[in-house]
Amino acid sequence: MHALLRRGAIGLALMGGGLLLCAIGLSLVSLVGRKLWAMPVPGDIEVLQMLVAVAVACFLPLCEINDHHIRVDILASLFPSCINRGLMVFSHLMLGVVSMVLLWRTALMMLDSHAYASQSTLLGVPLWIPQAAMLPGLALMGLCALSQAARHLTRPLPELEETA
């Protein structure tokens, strides 16, 4: 199961990287057009915001499955391994809960945006499209968090100390 989640997280991160490359290209074209010909790409900021929001959602599962989220380990070195294990399991479970709440609320926002035909201001892009594109990343992040909690709960203690 962990290997399948890892492959999914890598695939989403690659898609997020592609989206960021598109955002960089769009920004570059708009900047050059603005400076050389006084013709920026209309609505470039709207598109950049949408692309970056989706890209960030695509990167989150890979951060979680690799256990590379930012943590403050100042006090962790003072606690024994069993307490650190409990803290790691708790933190992964809480991230799973938070990601499921984000998934739920983003899905509701997407449904409302679709029902009310919400659009971006300049280009008229339906807002439900980038909102829907964020859902797989949020869902996979929640699954990765639950998987990480299970792994931290079932691993032997010395292995936990090596990866901390």
In the chain, where the domains are located: 2-163
The residues that bridge with 126 in the sheet, in sequence order, are 119
CA distance 73 to 89: 15
DSSP 40: P
pLDDT at 157: 66
CA distance 127 to 152: 38
Spatial contact of 44 and 27, defined as CB atoms under 8 Å apart: yes
Instruction: Write phi, then psi, for 114 (nearest 5 degrees).
Output: -70, -45
10-residue averages of pLDDT along the chain (164 residues): 94 97 96 90 94 96 88 76 88 96 98 96 95 97 96 74 49
CA angle 56, 106, 131 (to 5 degrees): 60
